[in-house]
Copies of this chain bind each other. A is one copy, B any other.
Amino acid sequence: MEIPLTPLDFLRRARKLHGLRIGVVDGDRRWTYSEFGARCDRWSSALQRLGVKHGDRVAYIAPNTHAQLESFYAVPQLGAVLVPINFRLVADDFRYLIQHSGATVVCAGADHLAAVESIRADLTGVAHFVSLDGPRDGWLDYESLLTDASASFTRPAIGERDLLTINYTSGTTSRPKGVMITHRNAWMNTVGMLAHWPMTPADAYLWTLPMFHANGWTFTWTVTAAGARHVCLPKFDGPTVFKTAAREGVTRLCAAPTVLIMLASSPAAAKALAPRGVAVMTAGAPPAAVTIQRIEDDLGWSVIQIYGLTETAPAISICEPLPEHQTLSQDDRARIKARQGVELITSGELRVVDDQGNDVPLDGKTPGEIVARGNVVMAGYYNDPEATEKCMGDGWFHTGDAAVVHPDGYVQITDRLKDVIISGGENISSVEVEAMLLRHEAIQEAAVVGVPHEKWGESPHAFVVFKSGQSATADALRTFCRGHMAHFKVPHDFTPVTELPKTATGKIQKFVLRKGRANINAQ
């Protein structure tokens, strides 16, 4: 017997088996899975009345609220396609993404109504604008529509190859591309998460990671599948995370390394509020070992790393702990935890290949490109067959990430292929230099990029954020680096900055730094 693989089945199960359990918390409001499911059904019903049909696109611009979470069930239940947009972008981006996706309904949170208003005249394909956080002139009101909606709707047949969401890439170098995630893709990633990072109905998950980002690494569905509790958090800083975690009995959260740095750098008084034993999943950029160690030491939390891309829905590797890691020193364990690890049980095959497509040796030294093949890989880029062909036309998805493979098979990213610095014919991993800088006592964050150099072709240039009240001279930093790494890798120059430019998900935008460097040079 075959029934479609769809994450919608997880809500069916949660409503049936955990109907009376609190499923969703958002500030002071809380809903059982039964109530949450009923709200999703009403929203499906309202959207159906607004004319949304199988295959139609519904766009959202909203932070981590219960309404955003509801969209991950209400829209796909209609066979429609959810387009969760990065709410940290600007009006011009919103215009492009809404137009490119062909969304006919746009739903926005309070902070984003004005931006949408400013481009509304251009959005001629959009039939309905919905305000998620309360009534607003010229907008349909989410809660009123829910109240007026029927409790049931006509459920269309949904196949596992149907589109579930379109997620736009962060577009650090070019126009964002629309990643087509199918029901099967998301189902597969969810069960993979559960097989490697098991959750139970006793768990509470804190929404620090944006839901729109590769659908919160599938936790929009994973938490529901486990019958665990979603704790929404639309805005946060360190103290809010710690206070909410303590109040709601949080046991799990996901966070990019930059968020981990932010948490680890919170005042001691705030950190004292944090519950112990929270399990943290990190991804989005290679975390430095020292970041992992600070979180584990200061907070008593445990960190596991996954790796993937929006195009892989997203996880294609996990830094799975092995029995033999238990006997390592804490330092060595943190060093291993900073690796991207091995393919998941459900994610298919992962390889690191040279430019002839041959596997690189397992020597921890020879870099290649990470490629993947499996059921978590997207169906393709929306309306962009050329880009699709380019990245997966040979049957393998090419990540564009450069990595080495250690003798135990653990993959470690050395850089984005385009961020590798080539100096005097030597490859320099910017990630490695950054990890070294983070070991300096005065440095909170660092980013290293290659800049043109007359003699060496490129030379490494570091941008550093100092810890509050601390600093160091370029000479001191240079000496520190020379004491710990090959001299050709040591940055030639150091630029202190107050913060690093980042994407919404915490990825450092190195192209902005390169441009900035060029401007500095030009002055």
Contacts and interface: CB of A to CB of B under 8 A. Distances in A.
Given A3-B374, A191-B346, 8 more contacts: A1-B378, A3-B373, A13-B343, A17-B409, A191-B195, A195-B225, A202-B323, A226-B345
18 contacts: A1-B373, A1-B375, A1-B379, A1-B397, A2-B184, A2-B375, A12-B349, A13-B345, A17-B342, A17-B343, A191-B345, A194-B194, A196-B198, A200-B320, A200-B321, A201-B322, A201-B323, A225-B345
A487 interface: no
B195 A375 contact: no
Interface string A4-15: 010001101100
Contact of A195 (B2, B198, B348, B379): B198
A321 B192 CA distance: 21
Contact of A191 (B9, B191, B343, B374): B191
Contacts of A349: 12
**What copy number does this chain have within its complex?**
2
Interface residues of A, number: 42
Contacts of A392: 1
A365 interface: no
A1 B377 contact: yes
Contacts of A201: 320, 322-323
- Grouping DSSP codes into helix (H, G, I), strand (E, B) and loop, the A interface class, with mixed when no group exceeds half, is loop
A100 interface: no
A198 B378 CA distance: 27
Contacts of A184: 2
A16 interface: yes
Interface string A169-194: 00000000000000010000001101
B342 A9 contact: no
Contacts of A225: 195, 345
A161 B373 CA distance: 19
Interface in A197-216: 198, 200-202
A459 B375 CA distance: 55
Contacts of A378: 1
A201 B195 CA distance: 13
Interface of A: 1-3, 5, 9-10, 12-13, 16-17, 161, 184, 191-192, 194-196, 198, 200-202, 225-226, 320-323, 342-343, 345-346, 348-349, 373-375, 377-379, 392, 397, 409
B17 A375 contact: no
A3 to B, nearest CB: 6
A10 B374 contact: no
A375 B5 contact: yes
A16 B409 contact: yes
Nearest to A194: B195
Contacts of A12: 349
A349 B5 CA distance: 12
Nearest to A1: B377
Contacts of A5: 375
Contacts of A2: 161, 184, 375
Given A202-B323, A345-B13, A409-B17, A3 B191 contact: no
A378 B2 CA distance: 9
Nearest to A397: B1
Contacts of A191: 191-192, 195, 345-346
A493 B196 CA distance: 52
Contacts of A226: 345
**Which 7 pairs from chain A and chain B are nearest by CB?**
A1-B377, A194-B195, A202-B323, A198-B198, A17-B342, A191-B191, A17-B409
Which of A191, A196, A345, A348 neighbours the largest number of chain B CB atoms within 10 Å of its CB? A345
Contacts of A194: 194-195, 345
Nearest to A351: B16
A206 B17 CA distance: 32
A195 B17 CA distance: 16
Nearest to A346: B191
A352 B303 CA distance: 42
A326 B184 CA distance: 35
A10 B345 CA distance: 7
A13 B184 CA distance: 21
A109 to B, nearest CB: 31
Which of A161, A392, A409 neighbours the largest number of chain B CB atoms within 10 Å of its CB? A409
A3 B409 contact: no
Nearest to A349: B12
A147 B345 CA distance: 31
Contacts of A342: 17
A185 to B, nearest CB: 8
A3 B345 contact: no
A23 to B, nearest CB: 14
